[in-house]
Amino acid sequence: MSAVPVIAIDGPSASGKGTVAQRVADTLGFHYLDSGAIYRLTALAAQRQSVQWQDEAQVAAIAATLDVRFDGAAIHLAGSNVTEAIRSEEIGSGASVVAALPAVRAALLARQHAFAQAPGLVADGRDMGSTVFPAAPLKVFLTASAEARAERRYRQLLARGEAADLAAITADLHARDERDRARAVAPLQQLPDARLLETTAMGVDEAVAQVLSWWNATINTPSA
């Protein structure tokens, strides 16, 4: 086990991994890394600087110098509170685009490593277990059907008072899944040593309890 224990939770967009990861971190008193927020911030920063998301060199330069501050649940970019701005569907799609760029992923790697601090870390994303924290003692692949994930996203948008089209959301999730699986660097995948957590018919409390059970079993299992 590494000096700082890490629980890596990966999975597709809108699978609920962020909610589960945050709850697990709160329960254990661990730090929490929402790696998706890092990529969303990069996409938002590029947009604000009129840089095309497909421009790998310029987006990587932006990623390397992001002026970001996490203050509890609030996220600030260049001194501006962007907590809500980075959660828009547009920026979510942009994050998926910039995350496929190798130079951008490389620029953000050290920033993500810095979150691993005592007493431990729960990190969620697409490649936490495969690339960022490959030595994590517990890796979870949390997923759900595209239809279930679209319905969850649809309800979230309506709850925030935003317009939402269920068919469009479903199509976008399918497109994101394909882009995440097909990218050359750190594609979305379930690793052989990752535990599968299928949440299509599972509530958040049940999912959190399962991860905590796996964690307790992990830390109570003697090393070989």
pLDDT at 69: 85
Please give the tally of structural domains in the chain: 1
pLDDT of residue 223: 58
Provide the pLDDT for residue 217.
96
Burial class (CB in 10 A: 0-12, 13-18, 19+), 59: buried
* Residue range(s) defining the domain that contains residue 133: 6-217
> Could you tell me if residue 102 is inside a domain?
yes
Interval 102-145: pLDDT, tens: 999 999 998 899 899 999 999 999 889 999 999 999 999 999 99
Asked if residue 131 belongs to a domain, the reply is: yes
In a domain, 1, yes or no: no
**pLDDT for position 1:** 40
Element (H, E) at 24: helix 17-28
Residue 222 located in a structural domain: no
17 lies in some domain: yes
- Asked if residue 167 belongs to a domain, the reply is yes
